[in-house]
């Protein structure tokens, strides 16, 4: 039987990969010789930076009553010990439970799981053949395992795979291309770590920022946020709040986030669709900018519109030609659409 991908080994990595591929409509089979659930010797520590990824797979750890781990404690047989705080921290969860939950998620996502040992793997005519005995031979164009394969086609547990690789199959031309996935994996890891650190800073400065905006995360991955920004007291938008939506891509912070007004607002640098014209969201974007700094800049824009680069030409014309009508139009719009504070 032919599959898009075969995975040898049903640990955390194998099960996670199986779920990701199956969610992309790939036909996936996974081989695990043990039957779930089963115990494994493991530190049973999950860093907080990994929680958004597990949530994206469908595993919500927040509903579990897990021990919170914030300190590393090392001790010697003589009784000497040291304690150090963990900067990121994490939670404790046994591999018995973690693997079992991922196993059930994999089944729900459509992964076929065989509780049998893969005996031999051969690459024949650009197709992997995985032998699991006399009954069946599976021939997936993409194979993933914890170990390399030796010259005799046996699984070699002494040689660890060091790089993530993907086989891109061209079925019409019967060719296979090998692609190194190390760079994309690193980008994904950097992206999640960056978002986790930003969230920490947002919580740290929540009290001082509360006079400027209120921020809420819409999903556990940290890719969607919603905020209410408050009109500065010296601006025409004072005493009103405006809802904005923030979206982040997998290439962040190399590429800018997107932010749009949900609340209708009359502003020189905001068009009718809620799109915002700010240089720091375009050609002046740098990776040092973040969610919090963009929101603070947006609040500042309410006080000091950039008339030289308008996104609402009609309002910009009123600003230059008839300041009274300009101010009246903004106040009427605030009264009609904005959130009264």
| Residue 294, burial from CB neighbour count under 10 angstroms (0-12, 13-18, 19+) | buried
Q: What angle do CA 332, 276, 269 make, to 5 degrees?
A: 55
Q: How far apart are alpha carbons 234 and 303 in whole angstroms? A: 7
Give the Cα separation of 314 and 303 in Å (integer).
19
Q: Which residues contact 65 (CB under 8 A, 6 or more apart)?
A: none
Distance separating alpha carbons of residues 37 and 166, to the nearest angstrom: 29
How many CB atoms lie under 10 A from the CB of residue 78?
A: 6
Distance CA 101, CA 107 (A): 10
φ, ψ of residue 307 to 5 degrees: the values are -70, -25
Q: What's the chain's length in residues?
A: 341
Question: Distance between CA 171 and CA 166 in Å, rounded?
Answer: 15
Distance CA 116, CA 34 (A): 7
Q: Supply the residues annotated as catalytic.
A: 277
Distance, CA of 79 to chain centre: 42
Q: What does the block give as tokens for 196? A: 């986790």
Separation of alpha carbons 147 and 157, rounded Å = 5
Of residues 341, 318, 313, the one with CA closest to residue 330: 318
Whole-angstrom Cα distance, residue 83 to residue 72?
6
> Does residue 63 sit in helix, strand or coil?
helix
Contact 47, 217 (CB under 8 A): no
């Amino acid at each position: 039987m032919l599959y898009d991908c075969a995975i040898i080994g049903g640990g955390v990595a194998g099960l996670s990969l199986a779920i990701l591929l199956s969610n992309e409509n790939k036909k996936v089979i996974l081989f695990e010789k043990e039957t779930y659930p089963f115990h494994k010797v493991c530190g049973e520590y999950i860093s907080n930076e990994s929680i958004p990824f597990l949530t994206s797979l469908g595993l919500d750890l927040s509903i579990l009553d897990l021990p919170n781990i914030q300190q590393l404690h090392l001790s010697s047989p003589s009784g000497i010990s040291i304690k150090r705080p963990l900067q990121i921290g994490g939670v404790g969860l046994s591999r018995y439970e973690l693997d079992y939950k991922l196993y059930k998620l994999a089944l729900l996502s459509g992964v076929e799981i065989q509780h049998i040992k893969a005996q031999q793997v051969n690459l024949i005519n650009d197709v992997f053949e995985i032998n699991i005995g006399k009954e069946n031979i599976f021939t997936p164009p993409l194979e993933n395992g914890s170990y390399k394969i030796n010259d005799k086609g046996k699984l070699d547990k002494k040689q660890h795979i060091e790089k993530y690789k993907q086989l891109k199959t061209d079925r019409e031309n019967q060719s296979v291309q090998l692609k190194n996935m190390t760079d994309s994996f690193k980008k994904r890891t950097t992206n999640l770590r960056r978002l986790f650190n930003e969230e920490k800073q947002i919580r740290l400065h929540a009290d001082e920022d509360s006079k400027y905006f209120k921020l809420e995360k819409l999903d556990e991955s940290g890719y969607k946020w919603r905020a209410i920004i408050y009109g500065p007291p010296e601006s025409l938008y004072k005493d009103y709040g405006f809802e904005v939506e923030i979206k982040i891509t997998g290439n962040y912070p190399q590429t800018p986030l997107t932010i749009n007004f949900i609340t209708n607002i009359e502003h020189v640098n905001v068009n009718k669709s809620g799109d915002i014209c700010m240089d720091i969201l375009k050609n002046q974007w740098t990776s040092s900018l973040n969610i919090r700094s963009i929101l603070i800049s947006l609040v500042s824009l309410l006080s000091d519109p950039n008339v030289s680069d308008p996104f609402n030409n009609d309002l910009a014309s009123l600003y230059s030609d008839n300041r009274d009508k300009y101010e009246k139009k903004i106040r009427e719009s605030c009264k009609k659409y904005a959130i009264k504070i």
